[in-house]
Amino acid sequence: MKKPREATVTLENAAQHTVVTRDGRRLAVETSGAPDGLAVFLLHGTPGSRSGPRPRPVVLYRLGVHLICYDRPGYGDSDRHEGRRVADTAADVAAIADAFGIDRFALVGRSGGGPHALACAALLPDRVTRAAVLVGLAPADAPDLDWYAGMTDENVDEHALGDADTAELRDLLTVRAKDVQRDPMTLLEFLRPQLTEPDIRVVDDVAIRRLLTDMYAEALRHGPEGWIDDVLAVHRSWGFDLGSIRLPVRLWHGEQDQFSPVSHSRWLAARIPTAEVQVQPGAAHFGAVEILPQTLAWLTTPALAAAPRL
């Protein structure tokens, strides 16, 4: 197994940690913001890593947020968990929370992190206060949903391999990961022809583009295993019941998203009893980066901690 970096303080008031799970896997964790603030887990997209775009430390302090990001197994410095299901995320998040002495926390999952945030909401009901999903995905076997409708052709091709041909999926993502290792900009260049105008506006911001390329480089520097396992996990049974979620859930989606179409959030909203859905005109997939501060404010509203459970 690869050795994660030692726990140390890094630039921009972020701290690196290693947490060991009950089965001996190591998870790379990064914390930032107010150490005594309300804990919020930010679950990255696919592909992604703990170093993904997030508000500056001064914004997190102002919001009173202790932000916790970690590499899902197989990404960055986290050991792989081959064959993992979406539901397995709950045990990893609980292990990290236990390591920091955190009893209750909120979560936000971005894109491919959305299903994993919902897993924690369903399986850790006594610990999760609220959950948010930004441009998330529905289960691949979702009834009454044309899962691929509205997706770009390249995204359809990648996800279809998650249903059909694992070997070809590995070959495809191995090539893409090697390209990113050589030059992290290649992934954004590959995505650019697929972007709608709202997404082009976001990724053309120099600071956001740098954060995205840094995230991709960190996510894939050891190889494509996390990316492969994420795609396969979405296309397996998720391992929990969406209808069992009883805590507040906010689903946000950009109306022009062509990577995870807005129909996915609408489908989820119809099956999660406590969910509200917000569809934003003039926004698309990468609008999730811009909406994050507002989402963190919703997740950590003081009244939430005392709110009775449904």
In a domain, 121, yes or no: yes
Contacts of 121 (CB under 8 A, 6+ apart): 107, 128, 131, 245, 247, 249
Domain presence at residue 285: yes
297 lies in some domain? yes
Per residue of the chain (310 residues), give pLDDT as tens. Answer: 444 333 332 334 569 999 999 999 999 999 999 999 999 999 999 999 999 999 999 999 999 999 999 999 999 999 999 999 999 999 999 999 999 999 999 999 999 999 999 999 999 999 999 999 999 999 999 999 999 999 998 888 888 887 766 899 999 999 999 999 999 999 999 999 999 999 999 999 999 999 999 999 999 999 999 999 999 999 999 999 999 999 999 999 999 999 999 999 999 999 999 999 999 999 999 999 999 999 999 999 864 444 433 3
CA distance 218 to 252: 26
* pTM metric for this prediction: 0.92
Which tens digits make up the pLDDT trace of 174-194? 999 999 999 999 999 999 999
Hey, which residues does 15 pair with through a beta bridge? 9, 31
Residue 2 maps to a domain: no
User: Is 163 part of any domain?
Assistant: yes
Looking at 124-165, list the stretches that DSSP marks H as alpha helix, in order from N- to C-terminal side.
153-164
- Report how far residue 262's alpha carbon sits from residue 134's, in angstroms, rounded to the nearest whole number: 10
Query: Could you tell me if residue 76 is inside a domain?
Result: yes
Specify if 3 maps to a domain: no
Nearest CA to 152 out of 257, 224, 229 is that of: 257
Structure-token match 């949903």, residue found: 145
68: domain CATH number is 3.40.50.1820
Nearest one of 97, 47, 308 to 107, comparing CA atoms? 97
Expressed as residue numbers, the domain containing 178 is 8-306
pLDDT of residue 4: 38
Task: Dump pLDDT digits (tens) for 94-132.
Answer: 999 999 999 999 999 999 999 999 999 999 999 999 999
**Into how many domains does the chain fold?**
1
